A and B are shown apart, each in its own frame.
Chain A
Amino acid sequence: MAYKPSMRTKSDSLEMELDIRPVMNLMVVLIPLLIVSAEWVKLSVLEINIPPSKNAGSGGDDNSQENKEKEKLLGLTIAITHDGITIANASTILSSDNEAEDGPGGPTVPKNPDGSYDYDVLITKLIDIKKKIVGKGFKDEDRAVITASADIEYQVIITVMDKIQMYEENNNILPLFPQINFGNVL
């Protein structure tokens, strides 16, 4: 005896429309709420920790030469002037690559011809220095002192601080000179 054919084939397919009105209501409320509390401009901060005592000042500028040798201080200074950026430490001033052209006494990294600072060269030189000194026991191997002429724009200072924080090598991010102090106005 054959089975009776199933009745299911004849039943109407149940068609139901999803009621999305509550979802829409929710969206209408949520979207303005989120627009109000959205952060459109992302802010960040650069950290400078000045020693609380007033004499500790900038990275050992006022230490005597003997002290420096005892403690092995690097005393790296980055000076920003209107001609360019000079890298120096307590005893020497790094001269420019093409000193013959620029003449002695010029900045280490002269400005580009269009008047902007040449940050790339600055970074290359700082990385060179960092590689030479790292692991040699300098107490302030992470520290740099930034100093500038009185009327250098704040944005330039921030850019320099920003660039000398760290560098990338073989996909490793290594600290360059993240501890920043400020020296006197030139």
Chain B
Amino acid sequence: MAFTPSKAKKNLEKEEGSLNMNAMMDMMTIILLFLLKSFSTEGALITPSENLRLPNSTSEEKAKKELMVSISQKEILVNDQPLMPINEQTVPKGQMLIPALAAKLAEYADQERELEIEVGKEFTHMVVIQGDYKISFEMMMKVMFTCAKSEFYKIRLLTIRVG
């Protein structure tokens, strides 16, 4: 024999509750405003890594996407492509020029110049250097010298803005 449905349950009134959305809407509005404020159309300029931590500065000038030369503690990258490790062979002690980097940059310069002739994209001679905050002044000088030699003489040093 089937159980008879419980009388109490049958007569239970359906409770209608309405969720109060006010607080949530407030929150959403604030989050939306905050995110709109930090909106950037530039996209990610840097790929953070353990060996490449940018130095801090208070400079206000905005970074632009240009040819990137990154100097981490272990290697040099051009446009995020690993180019060479940093050691005695690749970075000769007695000379300022870094041969492998110079060759790569010359390649890019040629490409840029070709683009300038064929499609009219201006060759800006600009290069953005991202250096780890621990690399030595000597290393930095060598890279800047190499860049300047390879026609990229407008150098921008990428830093993290503080304050």
Partner of A23, one of B25, B137, B144: B25
CB within 8 Å for A38 and B35 given contacts A20-B25, A46-B59, A154-B131: yes
Q: Would you give the 0/1 interface string for A147-171, flagging 1 where the beta carbon is closer than 8 Å to chain B?
A: 0111111110111011001000000
Q: Which of B6-14, B98-106, B108-116, B153-161 contacts A (4 or more CB under 8 A)?
A: B153-161
Distance (Å) between the CB of A155 and the closest chain B CB? Answer: 4
Distance (Å) between the CB of B7 and the closest chain A CB? Answer: 34
Given contacts A20-B25, A24-B24, A34-B35, 10 further A-B contacts (CB under 8 A): A37-B41, A39-B40, A43-B45, A44-B159, A48-B144, A48-B157, A52-B151, A52-B153, A150-B136, A153-B134
Distance (Å) between the CB of A19 and the closest chain B CB? Answer: 11
Distance (Å) between the CB of A181 and the closest chain B CB? Answer: 11
Task: Give Cα A152 to B138, complex, Å.
Answer: 8
A134 neighbours in B (Cβ, 8 Å): none
B133 neighbours in A (Cβ, 8 Å): 153-155, 158
Partner of B32, one of A27, A150, A153: A27
Q: How many A-B residue pairs have CB under 8 A?
A: 147
A133 neighbours in B (Cβ, 8 Å): none
Q: Is B56 an interface residue (CB 8 A)?
A: yes
A41 neighbours in B (Cβ, 8 Å): 46, 48, 160
Within 8 A of A (CB), among B17-39: 18, 21, 24-25, 28, 31-32, 35-36, 38-39
A152 neighbours in B (Cβ, 8 Å): 136-137
CB within 8 Å for A50 and B134 given contacts A31-B31, A31-B35: no
Task: Give Cα A158 to B54, complex, Å.
Answer: 10
Q: Would you give the 0/1 interface string for B123-157, flagging 1 where the beta carbon is closer than 8 Å to chain A?
A: 00100100111111110110010001101011111
Distance (Å) between the CB of B32 and the closest chain A CB? Answer: 6
Interface size on B, residues (CB 8 A): 54
B132 neighbours in A (Cβ, 8 Å): 154
A44 neighbours in B (Cβ, 8 Å): 57, 59-63, 158-161
Q: Is B85 an interface residue (CB 8 A)?
A: no
Chain B: residues with CB nearer than 8 A to chain A?
18, 21, 24-25, 28, 31-32, 35-36, 38-43, 45-46, 48, 54-64, 125, 128, 131-138, 140-141, 144, 148-149, 151, 153-161
Find the A residue at minimum CB distance from B58: A162
Q: Is A138 an interface residue (CB 8 A)?
A: no
Task: Give Cα A43 to B129, complex, Å.
Answer: 12
Task: Give Cα A108 to B62, complex, Å.
Answer: 34
CB within 8 Å for A45 and B61 given contacts A149-B137, A151-B137, A152-B136: yes
Task: Give Cα A152 to B60, complex, Å.
Answer: 24
Selected A-B contacts with CB under 8 Å, 29 pairs: A23-B25, A24-B28, A31-B31, A34-B35, A34-B36, A35-B35, A40-B38, A41-B48, A43-B158, A44-B57, A44-B59, A44-B62, A44-B63, A44-B158, A44-B161, A45-B128, A45-B158, A46-B57, A48-B156, A49-B153, A52-B148, A80-B137, A150-B137, A153-B136, A154-B133, A158-B133, A162-B59, A182-B144, A185-B141
